[in-house]
Amino acid sequence: VTKVKTVGDAYEVMRAFTATEMATRPVESIVQSIADMASFSLEMLHSCQATFAATGVPLHVRCGLAVGPAFACVIGSVRVSYDIFGLAPARARLMEELSPVGNVTVSRDVYELLSAAQGPTSLSQSFGCVASATFIPLSLSNTVYTSLSTSYTLFYRPLAHI
């Protein structure tokens, strides 16, 4: 997982796979990376709930997950910054914006990858999938194994309000 940037109270991270990695890594490990990012999102939500229980200070988080093409670049020559552009970051930002506070919303592609790997009955009530204005709640079990033949970038963007 690579930190991309922080913008206000948003923290953006990604996990990118190069063409070489896609050719040499086992497919299961790539899909497992997607599952790990989803699990990380759930752990962040649970940590915020634990913080609220211990301190009484509400920390509201919503998360968006998406997979797809993206490219990263360094911007500027005097004041250098790093950013990522493309379909995956745009979708992840949209998923985060559509996600209710205290939830993780995933793109249809993420939902289908996790669902195909585990079966729809393994997914319960912690994630939401947004496609064509449809909200479908789901959740992640332990491990994910499926076949994945194209290059994907997983992009994660939580939004925390204190």
pLDDT tens per residue, range 17-31: 776 776 788 777 777
The reported pTM is 0.69
Among 3-12, 26-35, 53-62, 149-158, the range with the most confident prediction by mean pLDDT is 53-62
**pLDDT confidence of residue 134:** 31
For the domain spanning 2-161, the CATH number is 3.30.70
Q: What is the dihedral of CA 4, 8, 10, 12, to 10 degrees?
A: 0
Average pLDDT over residues 21-43: 79
Residue 54: pLDDT above 90? yes
Among 17-26, 94-103, 148-157, the range with the most confident prediction by mean pLDDT is 94-103
pLDDT tens, 58-96? 887 888 888 877 777 788 888 888 788 888 888 888 888
46 burial (CB, 10 Å; 0-12 / 13-18 / 19+) is exposed
Confidence of residue 111 (pLDDT cuts 50, 70, 90): confident
Which residue type occupies 121? T
Residue 125: pLDDT above 70? no
For residue 31, give the nearest of 128, 122, 149, 138 by alpha carbon.
149
CA distances from 14 to 7, 119, 155 (A): 15, 25, 4
**pLDDT confidence of residue 55:** 92
Which residue type occupies 42? L
- Show the CA angle centred on residue 127, arms to residues 123 and 133, nearest 5°: 115
